[in-house]
């Protein structure tokens, strides 16, 4: 018996495959900036305040990558909604991991960005605490995006 058609005429398994592919690609793209932060960390932590502020200029314009995170969030949600059988739990977990990156961003990263005017300035007496909070939040987000990527891959392999 053939699989039923969806309202748009596509078989459900095709929708799941497309959703999985989009979730995989967009989650991988969302991981890239966080992975870059983690790889830079050993070289950035020893920097003094003025050097750190100079290096942070490299991130100007990176806010535009927010659209990738939003797209990854949407794609993993779509995948979680259409995944069936053994693919469903890892697909749902992938969505929750990407969602958690947004919680980390808005609770930990964004307030530091506002306080430092996106690292154009930093208070001399408190800059290390702000730096550590900012860097740690990016490392946690990278880990969550990596978990999401693995969960998407497991879901695809399970479908």
Q: What is the 3-state secondary structure (H, E, C) of 55-107?
A: HHHHHCCHHHHHHHHHHHHHHHHHHHHHCCHHHHHHHHHHHHHHHHHHHHHHH
pLDDT computed for residue 59 by the predictor = 85
Minimum mean pLDDT among 8-12, 13-17, 91-95: which range?
8-12
Rounded to whole angstroms, the Cα distance separating 84 from 67 reads 27
pLDDT computed for residue 79 by the predictor = 98
Q: What is the pLDDT of residues 41-95, one digit of tens each?
A: 999 999 999 999 999 998 888 888 889 999 999 999 999 999 999 999 999 999 9
pLDDT computed for residue 65 by the predictor = 86
3-state DSSP assignment of residue 54: helix
pLDDT computed for residue 7 by the predictor = 46
Rounded to whole angstroms, the Cα distance separating 39 from 139 reads 9
Question: What value does the mean pLDDT take over residues 5-22?
Answer: 72
Residue 24 has which token pair?
């995989």
Q: What is the pLDDT of residues 125-151, one digit of tens each?
A: 999 999 999 999 999 999 999 999 999
Residue 75 Cα to chain centre, angstroms: 12
pLDDT computed for residue 49 by the predictor = 96
Q: Environment class of residue 53 by beta-carbon count within 10 Å: exposed (0-12), middle (13-18) or buried (19+)?
A: middle
Is 83:155 a contact under the CB 8 Å cutoff? yes
What global pTM score does this model have?
0.89
Rounded to whole angstroms, the Cα distance separating 156 from 153 reads 5
Question: What value does the mean pLDDT take over residues 21-37?
Answer: 96
Question: What value does the mean pLDDT take over residues 121-128?
Answer: 92
pLDDT at 5 over 90: no
With b for 16 or more beta-carbon neighbours within 10 A and e for fewer, the 56-70 pattern comes to: beebeeeeeeeebbe
Q: How many residues does the chain have?
A: 159
Residue 77 has which token pair?
């949600």
pLDDT at 3 over 80: no
pLDDT computed for residue 154 by the predictor = 98
């Amino acid at each position: 018996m053939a699989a039923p058609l969806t309202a748009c005429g596509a078989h459900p398994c095709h929708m799941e495959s497309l959703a999985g592919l989009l979730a995989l690609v967009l989650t991988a793209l969302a991981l890239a900036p966080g992975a870059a932060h983690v790889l830079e960390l050993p070289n950035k932590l020893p920097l003094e305040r003025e050097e750190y502020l100079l290096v942070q200029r490299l991130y100007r314009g990176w806010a535009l990558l927010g659209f990738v995170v939003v797209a990854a969030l949407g794609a993993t949600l779509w995948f979680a909604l259409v995944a069936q059988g053994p693919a469903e739990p890892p697909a749902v977990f992938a969505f929750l991991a990407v969602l958690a990156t947004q919680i980390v961003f808005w609770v930990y990263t964004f307030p530091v960005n506002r306080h430092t005017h996106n690292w154009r300035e930093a208070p001399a007496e408190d800059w290390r605490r702000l730096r550590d909070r900012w860097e740690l939040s990016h490392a946690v987000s990278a880990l969550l995006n990596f978990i999401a990527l693995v969960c998407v891959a497991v879901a695809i392999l399970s479908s």
